[in-house]
Structure 1
Amino acid sequence: MTERLDTQRLAALPAAILRPAYDRAAVRPGIVHLGVGAFHRAHEAVAIDDCLAAGDSGWGIVAASLRSPDTRDALNPQDGLYTVVDRDSEGDRFRVIGAILRVLVAPEDPAALVAAMADPNVRIVSLTVTEKGYTRRSDGTLDEDHPDIRHDLAEWGRPRSALGFLAAALEARKAAGVPPFTALSCDNLPSNGATLKALLTRFAELRSPELGTYVRDKVACSSTMVDRIVPATTDSDRALVDDALGVTDAWPVVTEPYYSWVIEDDFPAGRPDIRTPGVLFVEDVAPYELMKLRLLNGAHSTLAYAGLLLGHDNVAAAFTDPDARALVDALWRESAATLPDAGLDSDDYCARLAIRFGNRALRHKLDQIGTDGSEKLPQRIAMPLRENLAAGRKASAQASAIAFWIAALERRGKGEFAFTDPRLDRLTTLAAQADANAAAGDILALLGLGDQLEAARALVSPVLELIRREGARAAIRTVAAASR
């Protein structure tokens, strides 16, 4: 199939394919998005496509990759168009999204991205750059010695980091008398808006005290909670989409029907009137964010490492394994105990998660979820573990999640599994220590357990020893039984 999806071919797509029901030529950019991966294209871009369809034409997206040209090379020849496939046991539903107007590649022309962000019509800059994209130290503060941070301060006009691009664009807007945009983090970080604000303020201070004051006093960084499962696109997914459309789509995305986006309503420069089902504008995102981080993301990470050790390769296969399911149920009980009483129903949320995790039509790879564990586990597992230990509550399932991570790292160091981590060499060396107590202690120290480190080690190291001695399944059964 040689014809490529583009604007000219939209009208000829089969009738069953949903497509933009608006004049894309009339759409103006109002959002710049940093990190144009699959999640953004199945989440924020879908909601913005709904806004454009409702006639709110000032919110088109200029998307940017901070590293690779692959997404640009796939989407720009398609006029930014691509297909989202909603998939569950009832089948696939296809929709072509038109919200992305063009894709930039930051390393090729950093000034072009800064200029796009400085455009007075742009009122929001959103981010999905993953946890490691925030260039933080383990204590959450800015890593001022990070190579990208040092580069961006020395080469101000040619940033590499997300913070560098944000600060350079804000400085340009300030100099031109243009009001600042709202920075909107869509990454899985606790208090992601406040976290971004603190990091960006500190980075701006390193540039100049005046810019630091400007960011602190004038720039809104709204918090969000994002929730949709988006596995990596496979070649079979591409072939399926091509057959359904009758033309080639170089990079479709496949996702679940479930959609949730909770947004702190703080947009001084204005915001789109998003009415997509599942979108909520609220005063305080924290309760939603905490529930998602600890129940969905925490369970995902636990399933990733335990599931790999049990011989599974995707979420549904791991979750429908009775032993792994018992472990997740125990984790949910422990983590739910740490949630604030904010009127949210954690039991109902877990019941919905069970349906989503069991979606066999959506093969969400465990290696994908297990990537960057050192960045993810502090907020997903270690923080609620620390709170349970301090309160004298059960925490054996949470501790075992860390033990399974250590065991998976040990196997990763031997060439098994495919998940990656920015600290992989150091982690695999620590995990391979023959003394389980030493391995657990050294890795726990990286997760910020603070004054509960020794109590956590007392729970983690016996599970790690049991995994090494009798295998992952025996360890899971022991932990699950103790957690009842």
Structure 2
Amino acid sequence: MTLKLSNATLNALPENVGRPGYDRATLRAGILHFGVGNFHRAHQATYLDSLMNMGEATDWALVGAGVFEGERKGREILKTQDWLTTLVEQEADKSEARVLGSMIDFIEPGDAAATIARMVQDDIRIVSLTITEGGYFLDAKDNFNPAHPDIQHDAANPAAPKTVFGMMLAALRARKDAGTPPFTVMCCDNIPHNGSVTRRTLTGLARLSDPDFADWIEANVAFPNAMVDRITPATTDRERNILKEDFGIEDGWPVFCEDFTQWVLEDNFPLGRPPLEKAGVQFAEDVTPFELMKLRILNAGHAVIAYPAGLLDIHFVHEAMEHPLIRAFLRKIEETEIIPQIPPVPETNTNAYFDKIEERFSNPKIGDTIRRLCLDGTNRQPKFVIPALRDALAAGSRFEGLALECALWCRYCAGTTDAGAEIAPNDPNWDQLKATALQAKDRPQAWLEQEAVYGDLAGHAAFAERFAFWLNALWADGTKAALTRYVEGA
């Protein structure tokens, strides 16, 4: 027998399922969050739920928000569950489930008027975001792109915005006019200097229509930088069925994740914040060393294993880690090309950090998919891989494996695996990527001429030569032969 998750069934859940130890009816809102996806619920919502179970942060409950039509389905599921989520933390030898109660409302996605009105209310002291790496309207150099059509729309129609940033601007203006202090904007996405990036996008949009207001935001709104980390795959029927069979819960949108979690945050919250340190959040004056370590070792590491695994028709991430060539490829590229370029991190051994990453990637319970890791290379490569490559080139250090990784991504985007299976579109720019990748089969330089990804690296002769070498090798001999050649140093 299974129980449908809701407030009414909380007390009837099996004894091995954790549940809110607080009265949800007494919670008051404090944070409006854009992007109520799996990562947010496995991360920020989980930290807040932990605090609430300690009797803390009861006036910092979450209100969800969104801008996309696709977010409506998730909202409807959560609404039928009274905004509750089942979180299942999985390690190789155990699985633990708990129900999160830290969200108390979710505004209809795309309802700009309602979203703005909620942000204007003075109980909202933090507006947070997990809108993916591609949601910040950046150009190839990670600067704000004012030419994007959605930005152009919001600049021309500030009272009827479409974007997260247009909605935040409208709310901040209304708060300013009412004499209400501005909320803190807290980015929780995997972007280098994510708070600074969010500030640039928000003020960049404001400057298109009201430069004085942009200056006011620069002077008055806080944007703390953060490093966030927890491997959290997408929810499928696999996860829903495991939850039913192992825990007796029917949840339309559960979250499965690893046991590991990390959040390093700058303490810059003028209107206050929850006591997150009590739930394990680390506050630091400068998040940069932590975020650089994570983005280079974990996120770039994901890309390193993703594309060879995709070309070899491997489905799960832990299965890729069981492949000796892929595992050896990851370790060699991390130890000889990526980690040597990472500056010291306070109280952290970067080689030990990588050992933990390797263990996390190998977790068979997570069910993380190679396809998820291969997704949206257009946005992820310039943020995670190319900076590591640039640092290696600037230092005159090794970059052979990074050149091979770039070639593997190109070969993947050609749209077929080594065995000839079709690769379904897996990038917002898939059609263009596929056409360019097929062109690069005969002229490798065509791939590097994607300035939005590689910038000026097409003109770096040594890198271009090694990229061409590896791409030609992949087409001629296949992925296994190329990995063997790199791993064995031939």
Counterpart of 2:11 in 1: which secondary structure? coil
- Does residue 457 (structure 1) correspond to residue 464 (structure 2)? The answer is yes
The letter for the 1-side match of 2:18 is L
Residues 349 and 331 (structure 1 numbering): CA distance in 2 closer, same or farther, change over 3 Å?
A: same
2:162 is matched with which residue?
Answer: 160
- Does residue 88 (structure 1) correspond to residue 95 (structure 2)? The answer is no
Q: Distance in 1 between matches of 2:421 and 2:119?
A: 42
- Does residue 416 (structure 1) correspond to residue 417 (structure 2)? The answer is no
- Does residue 25 (structure 1) correspond to residue 25 (structure 2)? The answer is yes
Matches within 5 A, 1:212-227: 212-227=214-229
The letter for the 1-side match of 2:435 is T
1:475 is matched with which residue?
Answer: 482
Matches within 5 A, 1:428-447: 428-433=434-439, 434-443=441-450, 446-447=453-454
The CA deviation at 1:416 is 2.2
Gaps of 5+ in 1: none
Residue deviations 1:269-296 (CA, integer Å, cap 9, x gap)? 1110014654201111100100000000
1:378 is matched with which residue?
Answer: 382
Gaps of 5+ in 2: none
1:339 is matched with which residue?
Answer: 342
Contact 2:448 2:454 in 1 (8 A): no
Contact 1:314 1:365 in 2 (8 A): yes
Residue deviations 1:201-235 (CA, integer Å, cap 9, x gap)? 11111131221011111111111111100111121
- Does residue 387 (structure 1) correspond to residue 391 (structure 2)? The answer is yes
Matches within 5 A, 1:23-62: 23-55=23-55, 56-62=57-63
Q: Distance in 2 between matches of 1:482 and 1:445?
A: 31
The letter for the 1-side match of 2:228 is V
Residues 444 and 395 (structure 1 numbering): CA distance in 2 closer, same or farther, change over 3 Å?
A: farther
The letter for the 2-side match of 1:10 is L
The CA deviation at 1:471 is 0.1
Q: Distance in 2 between matches of 1:390 and 1:27?
A: 52
Counterpart of 2:380 in 1: which secondary structure? helix
- Does residue 406 (structure 1) correspond to residue 410 (structure 2)? The answer is yes
Count of aligned pairs between the two proteins: 482
Q: Distance in 2 between matches of 1:244 and 1:478?
A: 44
1:104 to 103, 107, 114: 107
Residues 251 and 432 (structure 1 numbering): CA distance in 2 closer, same or farther, change over 3 Å?
A: same
Matches within 5 A, 1:50-449: 50-55=50-55, 56-67=57-68, 68=70, 69-107=72-110, 109-275=111-277, 278-333=280-335, 334-343=337-346, 344-411=348-415, 416-418=422-424, 420-433=426-439, 434-443=441-450, 446-449=453-456
The CA deviation at 1:457 is 1.3
Residues 306 and 419 (structure 1 numbering): CA distance in 2 closer, same or farther, change over 3 Å?
A: farther
The CA deviation at 1:447 is 2.4
Q: Distance in 1 between matches of 2:92 and 2:139?
A: 42
Residues 268 and 450 (structure 1 numbering): CA distance in 2 closer, same or farther, change over 3 Å?
A: farther
Contact 1:184 1:223 in 2 (8 A): yes
Residues 454 and 417 (structure 1 numbering): CA distance in 2 closer, same or farther, change over 3 Å?
A: same
The CA deviation at 1:34 is 0.5
Contact 2:3 2:13 in 1 (8 A): no
Residues 310 and 277 (structure 1 numbering): CA distance in 2 closer, same or farther, change over 3 Å?
A: farther
Residues 100 and 452 (structure 1 numbering): CA distance in 2 closer, same or farther, change over 3 Å?
A: farther
The letter for the 2-side match of 1:30 is G
The letter for the 2-side match of 1:479 is Y
The letter for the 2-side match of 1:8 is A
The CA deviation at 1:45 is 0.3
| TM-score of the aligned structures, taking structure 2 as reference length | 0.94
Q: Distance in 2 between matches of 1:321 and 1:419?
A: 25
Counterpart of 1:33 in 2: which secondary structure? strand
Residues 322 and 443 (structure 1 numbering): CA distance in 2 closer, same or farther, change over 3 Å?
A: farther
Residue deviations 1:433-457 (CA, integer Å, cap 9, x gap)? 1324233332466323558643321
Q: Distance in 2 between matches of 1:258 and 1:342?
A: 19
The letter for the 2-side match of 1:447 is Y
Residues 14 and 218 (structure 1 numbering): CA distance in 2 closer, same or farther, change over 3 Å?
A: same
- Which segment is superposed worse, 333-342 or 280-289? 333-342
Q: C-alpha root-mean-square deviation of aligned residues, in Å?
A: 1.9
Residue deviations 1:298-320 (CA, integer Å, cap 9, x gap)? 01012111111122112111112
| TM-score of the aligned structures, taking structure 1 as reference length | 0.95
- Which segment is superposed worse, 343-352 or 432-441? 432-441
The letter for the 2-side match of 1:320 is E
Aligned-pair identity in percent equals 37
